[in-house]
Structure 1
Amino acid sequence: MLQAIGLTSTPRRDLSPAVDDLTFEAPPGRVTALLGAPGSGKTTALRLMLELDSGRGVTYFRGRPLHRIGHPAREVGVLLGDVPGHPARTARGQLRMLCAAAGVPASRADDLLEVVGLAGLGDQRLGTLSVGMDRRLGLASALLGDPHTLVLDNPAEGLSPRERSWLHGLLRAHASEGGTVLHTTSDPKEAARTADRVVTIDDGRLVADQDVADFSHTRLRPRVAVRTPHAARLASVVRREARAAQRSVEVVAEESNRLSVYGSSCAEIGDTAYRHGVPVHQLADETGDTGPVSASAGAGAGVRAVPRPASSVAISELPPPIPVRPARGPLRPVRYELRRLLGVRTTTMIMAAVLAVSVGLSVLLARSGRAPLPDLLVAWPDLLPLPPAAFGAGLLGALSFGDEFRYPALAAGRGTVPRRLGLLFAKLVVSAGVAVFLATASVLVDAEALRLVYGGDLVEVPANAAPLAVSWAGLAVGCAWAGLLAAGVFRLTGAGVAAVLAVPVLVVPLVQWLLSGPSARSIVGLPSRLRELAWLQWPYETDRWAMAAVRVVTQPVGVALSLSLSALICAYVFTSLRGRARW
């Protein structure tokens, strides 16, 4: 059972809310259509149900709001607009990535591609899909977690009549298994053909909540629309002549001097008006939804032209059920993040470009003979704020959260961007691993290039190789995390890149200025003093490593990165708590 209670959107400035105190139910085992003209608030209503937009009211999915459901993809399958995925990602890769997020086996992606008729197009890029294919893939994404409730925004848009029939059969099959189906449409005839219940809204308010038979009888019968300043007189004349001729004619008086005449024709109404001298301003045949009607009825029984009932829709094949509950554990978001990272060629292209630039700069620096060996190995000339590998790690970190906002693959499951700590930790772990890999690869490739161009005498292992390696890895990881957190806070990839560049350009000079004064105190002996405070005594050999780590952190770049990361973490936590408080 889906219960929407008092849904009201937040109005903008002096405008009225797009959805105003909307309350209705969608029972299980039935297909419910949310009907309304374009701009009537259907999509806003769905976004309020899914807690994607701010507002008042609550929606219960089998007695629980969405934010109280442990596995949203298992309970609610959603299709809003186009498939929210990177255009370079394949259809199969998109579904496999979402399988990892939902905690279901990756093999379910192929099962759903078969069900929605895209089995032969799994390797096609999302950017090349037609509108019909995009809707099919969106429906497959909604069905990934084997949900009980389907919430679909105009799912038949862009489909051919044959595809519409298949889609309606699939929705009917889901309902016949006891599931709940709610979909929006602006076509009253489609609502009458496919739904068991029709909820009509206008300007964000509830107009009618009817069984499909009542909806078809009151809203879809062929009629003659008449507008005249003498509506009551014409209605009386039409009724009198219908009784005299023993014909079944129904006259319904509406607002603005308008009549709806059922069981007659434009020619008959026009002749009657002419004979009795009644001026007519509008005379037209209509079949469709014209908004709410009043309860005024004329003499005679109306002729019911009820369209084909929804039960006559051919039932399509459903995907196989998932035998187990979605998996928990830390590997679930890590799998999602790895598939998101490696599912497009952007990551590989950035890494290849970074290594190529790093090799070129390293060879050019070595030619002058003035750069020290550590700068040669990481390709860090004085004129660049960061070495290529560190900047590349920051760019990949910024993309890891920036793409979530640009292509919100998880929007249907939980908010515009998932702010769950599990996904954040997964992004931190994966981005750190990528940064360490890129930093190590750049050093190895640069060393091999220098050995190849200038000979083996140039490249030697320095005496302080371990502290240098830790410092280099820390710089790369810090840049990756700075880009990731900044993109998560400001919801923009460019903001993440700007945060990475701000560390050496703005924060490092500020830290150097603060530390430029003479120091009257020294941190020498800090490890031994820490040993006195600790319960567990560590070996004396670790003092040297602890002191080396302290020296790395107290460098201007280390201090700047630490300050930047601390500020970004606080900002991220603040925005996360504010977003949760809004629910």
Structure 2
Amino acid sequence: MLQAIGLTSTPRRDRPPAVDDLTFEAPAGAVTALVGPPGSGKTTALRLLLELDPGRGLTYFRGRPLRRIAQPAREVGVVLGDVPGHPSRTVRGQLRMLAAGAGVPVARADEVIRAVGLGGLEGRRLGTLPRGADRRLALAAALLGEPHTLILDDPGAGLSPAERIRLHELLRAHARAGGTVLYTTRDPKDAARNADHVVTVDAGRLVAAQDAGDFARTRLRPRVAVRSPQAARLAAAVTQEARSARRPVEVVTEDGNLLLVYGGDCAQVGDIAFRHGVPVHKLADETGDAGPGPAAAGPEGVHEAGRAVGAGAPGRASAARRPVRSPLRPLRYELRRILGVPPTGLVVAGVLAVSAVLAVLLGRGGGTPLPAVLAAWPDLLPLPPAALGAGLLGALSFGEEYRYPALAAGRGAVPRRLALLLAKLAVAALGALLLGALVAAADLAALRLCYGADLISVPDNWAPMAASWLGLTVGCAWAGVLGAGVFRAAAAGVAAVLFVPVALVPLLGQVMSGPAVRSVTGLPGRLAEFAGPRWAPSLDHWIAGALEVVGQPAGVALALTLTVLLCAYVLTGLRSQARW
């Protein structure tokens, strides 16, 4: 059961709140429709239920507020607007990534694809889906965690009549299994036809909360829809004959040639048209809205549950702390995220191609040192292509999630959780290591192919060179991740990567150019004495190489940049949580 008590949105300036003291229930095992005209506050009410908008009131999902539910995706499935996600990601890839986020088996993605009728569209890109398929994908994402409660904002928008029938059959099956379904609609006939309970709102306030039968009897009334090219003449004839017979009839004109006749039937209206020689193109019985207003509901339309659950408790804040939907399996989520979009492969392929060409050109003259040739790092570039590519991939890992949010509907931002950050840093480091190794191998192969294996040999100090090379690529990848996470844009992540060689390295080079009073020479030996017999002699070589790398201005600059970005990320994350 879903219980909403005293929901009130925060007003803007001098305008009244969009939702004002709204209290209702959505029982388990039933489909509840939230009905109201455009601008009545339906969507705002859903966002208050989910604690996405600031306001007052309480909402309980089976007796618990959302912020106290450890796994919200297992309790509540949400459809708000379009499905968020990268337009180049496939339907199956999107759902498998979200399955990792919800902590459910990957096979669940194929199950919901079949359940919502997306079979055959698994390989389609999100950006190429038609409107109806896009809505079905949003419903599939909501069903991934097998939630007890479904909350949907106008789920039938953009669907064909057949797709709407399938949608409501799916919602009905979820309710029959004991779940709770709450959806919004502006069409009262849709609510009367497909819902078990109907909650009517207008101007943000509760008008009535009734069973569907009571709603149809008290809020709807029969009418005759007539379409004629002489609608004005027919309207005058119907009104005149009803007045003569002293019958209460109301005639409403819509769209120029459509008449809605309240208080008559098809036989009466057809006979009048025949007697006056008026051609009729449509004549049908319909059920129409009686219009908003508490009087139309009658005394039996007042919802008793609002008083039962304590409607007098709206004074407590419901948005003091917004629930955060962080991936339950962050490492698996991040791997599916980075491997599911074309930009990852395009960046890697571009880096390999550019590096190979630059390595061949640099090796042609014979005067460039071998490390710079293997790294494809000419003096005119601030960073080698591999480091720039690793930084770009790191920046996209956070920047694209702010641009195409996927973790939670309607939030538009990635939650700043430690597990997610560690997963992104781990995947970025792994990608940077692979990219650095691939570039070095590709450049070495290109040099040997062009100039012969005898001229290009592996140097003896390859270990510190490799440590320096891989450390640079990993550091740039982490700078991209943290920069994009702090400033919420991929461009900011790339700017953080370029800041190191362009601005910080020259400054530190001047600072470190003075005479050194002390040094860390002999540190490996002192560490060996401290560790005792457990110390492996081969570690001396690696530690000396690492110290040589870190002691360079570029290493110091990269370490400082990463430290500052990490502190900024933590501080902004704590400030955001306090503001929520």
> What is the TM-score normalised by the length of structure 2?
0.80
Question: In structure 1, what is the equivalent of residue 30 of structure 2?
Answer: 30
Q: Using the alignment, how far apart are the partners of 1:205 and 1:89 within structure 2?
A: 41
Question: In structure 1, what is the equivalent of residue 150 of structure 2?
Answer: 150
Q: Does the residue aligned with 2:198 lie in a helix, a strand or coil?
A: strand
Q: Is the 8 A contact 1:50 1:412 kept in 2?
A: no
Q: Does the residue aligned with 1:383 lie in a helix, a strand or coil?
A: coil
TM-fit CA distance, 1:532: 7.3
Aligned with 1:382 (options 379, 382, 385) = 379
Q: Is the 8 A contact 1:411 1:418 kept in 2?
A: no
Aligned with 2:479 (options 457, 477, 482) = 482
Question: In structure 2, what is the equivalent of residue 237 of structure 1?
Answer: none
TM-fit CA distance, 1:105: 2.0
Q: Does the residue aligned with 2:221 lie in a helix, a strand or coil?
A: coil
Question: In structure 1, what is the equivalent of residue 315 of structure 2?
Answer: none
Q: Does the residue aligned with 2:295 lie in a helix, a strand or coil?
A: coil
Q: Does the residue aligned with 1:119 lie in a helix, a strand or coil?
A: coil
Q: Using the alignment, how far apart are the partners of 1:475 and 1:5 within structure 2?
A: 55
**What are the within-5 Å matches in structure 2 for residues 220-299 of structure 1?**
220-222=220-222, 263=263, 287-288=288-289, 290-294=291-295
Q: Is the 8 A contact 2:97 2:336 kept in 1?
A: yes
Q: Is the 8 A contact 1:198 1:215 kept in 2?
A: yes
Q: Is the 8 A contact 1:135 1:155 kept in 2?
A: yes
AA at the equivalent of 1:188: P
Question: In structure 2, what is the equivalent of residue 346 of structure 1?
Answer: 343
Q: Using the alignment, how far apart are the partners of 2:331 and 2:121 within structure 1?
A: 27
Q: Which stretch of the first structure deviates more once superposed, 99-108 or 5-14?
A: 5-14
**What are the within-5 Å matches in structure 2 for residues 12-161 of structure 1?**
12-161=12-161
Q: Is the 8 A contact 1:408 1:416 kept in 2?
A: yes
Shift of the 331–161 alpha-carbon distance from structure 1 to 2, 3 Å rule, reads: closer
TM-fit CA distance, 1:246: 10
Q: Using the alignment, how far apart are the partners of 2:351 and 2:37 within structure 1?
A: 52
Matched, 1:509 2:506: yes
Q: Which stretch of the first structure deviates more once superposed, 55-64 or 159-168?
A: 55-64
Question: In structure 1, what is the equivalent of residue 183 of structure 2?
Answer: 183
Question: In structure 2, what is the equivalent of residue 546 of structure 1?
Answer: 543
Matched, 1:523 2:520: yes
Question: In structure 1, what is the equivalent of residue 564 of structure 2?
Answer: 567
Q: Does the residue aligned with 1:183 lie in a helix, a strand or coil?
A: strand
**What are the within-5 Å matches in structure 2 for residues 308-457 of structure 1?**
332-412=329-409, 416-457=413-454
Structure 1: where are the runs of 5+ without partners?
Answer: 225-241, 251-260, 269-284, 298-328
Q: Using the alignment, how far apart are the partners of 2:296 and 2:343 within structure 1?
A: 62
AA at the equivalent of 1:288: D
TM-fit CA distance, 1:444: 0.3
Q: Which stretch of the first structure deviates more once superposed, 48-57 or 379-388?
A: 48-57
Q: Using the alignment, how far apart are the partners of 2:190 and 2:575 within structure 1?
A: 41
Q: Does the residue aligned with 1:86 lie in a helix, a strand or coil?
A: coil
TM-fit CA distance, 1:30: 1.2
TM-fit CA distance, 1:248: 8.8
Q: Does the residue aligned with 2:210 lie in a helix, a strand or coil?
A: strand
Q: Is the 8 A contact 1:394 1:484 kept in 2?
A: yes
**What are the within-5 Å matches in structure 2 for residues 162-177 of structure 1?**
162-177=162-177
Q: Using the alignment, how far apart are the partners of 2:474 and 2:40 within structure 1?
A: 49
Q: Using the alignment, how far apart are the partners of 1:40 and 1:400 within structure 2?
A: 39
Q: Using the alignment, how far apart are the partners of 1:296 and 1:195 within structure 2?
A: 17
Q: Is the 8 A contact 1:359 1:379 kept in 2?
A: yes
Question: In structure 2, what is the equivalent of residue 302 of structure 1?
Answer: none
TM-fit CA distance, 1:492: 1.4
Q: Using the alignment, how far apart are the partners of 2:533 and 2:416 within structure 1?
A: 37
Shift of the 381–472 alpha-carbon distance from structure 1 to 2, 3 Å rule, reads: same
Q: Using the alignment, how far apart are the partners of 1:354 and 1:142 within structure 2?
A: 38
Structure 2: where are the runs of 5+ without partners?
Answer: 225-241, 251-260, 270-285, 299-325
Q: Is the 8 A contact 2:101 2:328 kept in 1?
A: no
Q: Is the 8 A contact 2:101 2:327 kept in 1?
A: no
Q: Is the 8 A contact 1:30 1:179 kept in 2?
A: yes
AA at the equivalent of 1:145: G
Q: Is the 8 A contact 2:395 2:480 kept in 1?
A: yes
Q: Does the residue aligned with 1:4 lie in a helix, a strand or coil?
A: strand
Find runs of 4+ consecutive structure 1 residues off by over 6 angstroms: 244-250, 531-537
* CA offset digits 1:231-271 (Å, max 9, x no partner): xxxxxxxxxxx9x9997999xxxxxxxxxx97479x99xxx
> What is the TM-score normalised by the length of structure 1?
0.80
Shift of the 330–262 alpha-carbon distance from structure 1 to 2, 3 Å rule, reads: closer
Shift of the 203–480 alpha-carbon distance from structure 1 to 2, 3 Å rule, reads: farther
TM-fit CA distance, 1:360: 0.9
Q: Using the alignment, how far apart are the partners of 2:488 and 2:92 within structure 1?
A: 27
AA at the equivalent of 2:67: H
Q: How many residues align?
A: 508
AA at the equivalent of 2:209: D
Shift of the 380–21 alpha-carbon distance from structure 1 to 2, 3 Å rule, reads: farther
Q: Using the alignment, how far apart are the partners of 2:414 and 2:327 within structure 1?
A: 19
Q: Does the residue aligned with 2:151 lie in a helix, a strand or coil?
A: strand
Q: Does the residue aligned with 2:329 lie in a helix, a strand or coil?
A: helix
Q: Is the 8 A contact 2:100 2:327 kept in 1?
A: no
Q: Using the alignment, how far apart are the partners of 1:130 and 1:177 within structure 2?
A: 30
TM-fit CA distance, 1:3: 2.1
AA at the equivalent of 1:340: R
Question: In structure 1, what is the equivalent of residue 2 of structure 2?
Answer: 2
TM-fit CA distance, 1:533: 7.2
Q: Does the residue aligned with 1:145 lie in a helix, a strand or coil?
A: coil
Q: Using the alignment, how far apart are the partners of 1:172 and 1:395 within structure 2?
A: 46
Q: Does the residue aligned with 2:120 lie in a helix, a strand or coil?
A: helix
Shift of the 45–505 alpha-carbon distance from structure 1 to 2, 3 Å rule, reads: farther
Shift of the 203–124 alpha-carbon distance from structure 1 to 2, 3 Å rule, reads: same
Q: Using the alignment, how far apart are the partners of 1:539 and 1:571 within structure 2?
A: 38
AA at the equivalent of 1:521: R
Q: Is the 8 A contact 2:467 2:545 kept in 1?
A: no
Q: Does the residue aligned with 1:7 lie in a helix, a strand or coil?
A: strand
Q: Does the residue aligned with 1:207 lie in a helix, a strand or coil?
A: strand
Shift of the 222–104 alpha-carbon distance from structure 1 to 2, 3 Å rule, reads: same
TM-fit CA distance, 1:188: 1.6
TM-fit CA distance, 1:16: 4.1
Shift of the 424–21 alpha-carbon distance from structure 1 to 2, 3 Å rule, reads: farther
Shift of the 149–472 alpha-carbon distance from structure 1 to 2, 3 Å rule, reads: same
Q: Using the alignment, how far apart are the partners of 2:355 and 2:468 within structure 1?
A: 18
Q: Using the alignment, how far apart are the partners of 2:442 and 2:246 within structure 1?
A: 96
* CA offset digits 1:335-373 (Å, max 9, x no partner): 221121111222111100110011111111112322110
TM-fit CA distance, 1:565: 1.2
Q: Does the residue aligned with 2:77 lie in a helix, a strand or coil?
A: strand
